[in-house]
Amino acid sequence: MACTITGTCIDCTARAKACPVDALTGERGEMHVIHGDVRVDCGLRG
């Protein structure tokens, strides 16, 4: 199940670049999507 990052996210792509399994997609300045089927509990989501 995919979900979006909300809250303090400013769509800077930092989490997407740091994701160890490339579970995030999106462009700078746009809301990113977390792809739950590949997501792991790495602690980056915040």
Task: Give the pLDDT confidence score for residue 31 in this predicted structure.
Answer: 79
Question: Cβ(24)–Cβ(34) under 8 Å?
Answer: yes
For the stretch 1-46, pLDDT in tens is 566 676 777 778 888 888 888 888 888 888 788 888 887 777 765 5
What is the pLDDT at residue 13? 84
> Residues for the chain: how many in total?
46
Can you give the pLDDT at residue 42? Answer: 77
Domain ranges, ordered by start, for the chain:
2-35
What's the pLDDT at 1? 57
Both tokens of 31, joined, read 């809301």
Helices (H), 1-46: 14-18
Which element (helix H / strand E) includes 35? strand 33-35
What pLDDT score was predicted for residue 16? 83
- Specify the pTM: 0.61
> What is the rounded CA–CA span in Å between residue 36 and residue 12?
20
